Every structure is written in C-alpha cells, then in structure tokens.
Amino acid sequence: MTNSGGSPQNCPDRVGDIRRNGRLDQATLGAMDRQWPNLKRGGRDPNSQFWTHEWNTHGTCSRSTLALPAYFRRAVDRASSVDLLRLLRSNRIQPDNRLYRRADIGAALHRYNPRVKCNDVRSGGRTYKQIQEIRLCVQRDGSRVVSCGGGGTRFTSCGGGTIRFSRP
C-alpha cells in the first residue's frame, strides 16, 4: 500500500503457487516463513497461498522495477526492519491466543499507523475477533516503510473491544 492513495493491484504477470514455481530460493522462502506468515489459518500451505495472492494482487504491479524474487526479498527486508512481532511483544502483546484491547494494539503500532484487519474465529463455543492482517505502507519503490497516515491505526472488521492474537 502506498501513502498516496491506495494499493496498486491486479496487474498482468500473475503466477501459480509461489513456493513451487521455482523462482524463489530456499533462503528467501525461509525468511518469508519467519517474517511474513499468513495469520489466517487454513489450507494445505497457508503461507504459500497468501504469498501467491500478494504477488498476483500487488506484486505484479511492481514488475517494471522489481521482478518476483526482488519483490519478495524486499518485502522480507521491510518486515525485518520493522519486526512487528517484537514491537507488539515489547508492549506485552503476543501471539498466545489471548484477547487484547484494541486500544492497546493501536497504541503499540502507532508509529506506523498501519491497517489492521480482523476476521471471526470460533473457539470454545464463542466467536472472537482475531487479527488477520497488519498492513504496513511502503514507498512505491519499496525502499522503506512509511506511516500510512490518517492519525492512527485503522481497524477493519475488528469491533470495538478485544481482539484475539493467534499464533501464526
């Protein structure tokens, strides 16, 4: 997502399964597993499904400056430069399936003003809001993470109370 008006998306050069298409080396795939996991469970290989979606939806629009391997290496570099998990843990929020106050999550992430998207998960006969995605904004060339603007963390489909943070 850019800080100047939305996400570029759905450009030509769509690919099949990222993990199996042979265009990424094992070191990059391993770093992606650690730094850019899919928070939404399900499927045989949820990370690969997620990354394929990210390339087909957003990465294809960067192909004039970044080929598929460079796009994912840059994404891993950005993720490790921010380290959202460390940032959240330093604010006593960790992926332990517990509920956290929306305000505390927003305060922990305030530096980047990201977009946090939630989904519903059913557990123990109850339905909870759960973090599905934390979307950071980057310069169009992918060179650095920037604030998404808007005066704070924006939540989508997260309700107003507590949010579950599950293990990736």
Q: Give the model's pLDDT for residue 2.
A: 34
Q: Are residues 24 and 77 in the same domain?
A: yes
Percent of residues in the chain assigned helix, strand, coil, to nearest 5: 30, 20, 45
Q: Is 61 in the same domain as 108?
A: no
Averaged pLDDT, 32-46: 75
3-state secondary structure 81-150: HHCHHHHHHCCCCCCCCEEEEHHHHHHHCCCCCCEEEEEEEEECCEEEEEEEEEECEECCCCCCEECCCC
Which domain, by its residues, includes 77?
14-82
Q: Is residue 168 part of a domain?
A: yes
Mean pLDDT of 143-154: 83
Confirm whether pTM is higher than 0.95. no
Provide the pLDDT for residue 5.
Answer: 47
* Angstrom distance (rounded) from CA 108 to CA 106: 5
Do 119 and 72 sit in the same domain of this protein? no
117, 49: one domain: no
Pairing of strands 115-123, 154-156: parallel
Q: Is 47 helix (H, G, I), strand (E, B) or coil?
A: helix
How many domains is the chain partitioned into structurally?
2
Question: How does pLDDT run across 92-144, given as a tens digit for each residue?
Answer: 999 998 999 999 999 999 888 899 999 998 888 999 999 988 988 887 777 88
| Residue scoring higher pLDDT (87 or 62) | 87
Q: Is residue 107 part of a domain?
A: yes
Give me the pLDDT at residue 39, please: 73
44-48, 51-55, 86-90, 114-118: the lowest-pLDDT one: 44-48
